[in-house]
């Protein structure tokens, strides 16, 4: 199956989930993430601000703040097709909201990527080898490809988004582990 068809199928599966099921599974996924050793050990955590059909990260972000962690989120520059990590300290900060529902912080408080310990990455699908299928814009792949990036990479999804195989190419950036509403797993080595 090609990436475009797989994206459609996975997105449709997410859109079919009821809001109550999504809320319940999101809370379980956040609990699994927050209790993971890599999250506990990280001082600066990069989280994403969820689209309406993704795992809701708000609870994990709140937990990170309560543990005294620095929380950074992507600030998207649509024209340049890039993103930077910016610090947020509450959900009361100013955000612009795109047509798709993506919250983009207005903050200028950029944090250098080498200071980030853990990047929690959204995606439409992940596989056990660490491959990720994003939305197709390449923002995370370009961001994670920075030579300054030292952070561990965590794919964050619902269990139904874990696949046997995700097609990938040289530009696709792999995850170190993934967390779902059912489990937290290190990726299987391809060696």
Number of domains forming the structure of the chain: 1
Q: Tell me if 46 sits within 8 A of 110, measured CB to CB.
A: no
In a domain, 106, yes or no: yes
> Can you tell me the mean pLDDT for 29-50?
96
In a domain, 64, yes or no: yes
| Cα–Cα distance, 18 to 36 (Å, whole number) | 27
> Which pLDDT score is estimated for 184?
87
> Which pLDDT score is estimated for 187?
80
Chain segment 122-170, per-residue pLDDT in tens: 999 999 899 999 988 899 999 999 999 999 999 999 999 999 999 888 8
In a domain, 140, yes or no: yes
In a domain, 190, yes or no: no
Cβ partners under 8 Å of residue 20, min gap 6: none
> Can you tell me the mean pLDDT for 43-54?
96
> Which pLDDT score is estimated for 141?
95
> Which pLDDT score is estimated for 186?
84
- Tell me what percent of the residues of the chain surpass a pLDDT of 70: 97
In a domain, 87, yes or no: yes
Beta strands in the chain (DSSP E): 44-46, 70-77, 82-87, 95-97, 103-105, 118-121, 125-127, 132-133, 152-156, 162-163, 177-179, 184-186
Chain segment 6-29, per-residue pLDDT in tens: 999 999 999 999 999 999 999 999
In a domain, 161, yes or no: yes
If pLDDT is split at 50, 70 and 90, which confidence band does 188 have? Answer: low
If pLDDT is split at 50, 70 and 90, which confidence band does 191 have? Answer: very low
pTM of the model: 0.93
Question: How many other C-beta atoms are found inside a 10 Å radius of the C-beta of residue 144?
Answer: 18
If pLDDT is split at 50, 70 and 90, which confidence band does 3 have? Answer: confident
Q: Is the pLDDT of residue 36 over 90?
A: yes
Residue 57 belongs to domain spanning: 3-184
> Which pLDDT score is estimated for 189?
58
Q: Is the pLDDT of residue 190 over 60?
A: no
In a domain, 191, yes or no: no
* CATH code for the domain in which residue 18 is found: 3.40.50.10420
């Amino acid at each position: 199956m090609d990436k475009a068809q797989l994206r459609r199928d996975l997105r449709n599966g997410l859109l079919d989930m009821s809001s109550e099921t999504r809320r319940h599974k999101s809370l379980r996924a956040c609990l699994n993430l927050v209790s993971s050793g890599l999250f506990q050990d990280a001082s600066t955590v990069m989280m994403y601000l969820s689209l309406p059909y993704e795992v809701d990260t708000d609870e994990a972000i709140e937990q990170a703040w309560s543990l005294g962690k620095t929380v950074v989120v992507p600030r998207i520059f649509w024209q340049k097709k890039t993103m930077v990590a910016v610090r947020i300290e509450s959900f009361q900060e100013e955000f612009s909201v795109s047509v798709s529902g993506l919250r983009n912080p207005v903050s200028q408080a950029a944090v250098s990527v080498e200071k980030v310990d853990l990047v929690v990455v959204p995606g439409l699908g992940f596989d056990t080898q660490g491959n990720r299928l994003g939305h197709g814009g390449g923002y995370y792949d370009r961001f994670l490809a920075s030579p300054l990036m030292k952070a561990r990479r965590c794919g964050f999804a619902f269990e139904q988004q874990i696949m046997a195989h995700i097609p990938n190419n040289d530009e696709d950036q792999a995850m170190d582990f993934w967390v779902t509403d059912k489990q937290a797993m290190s990726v299987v080595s391809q060696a």
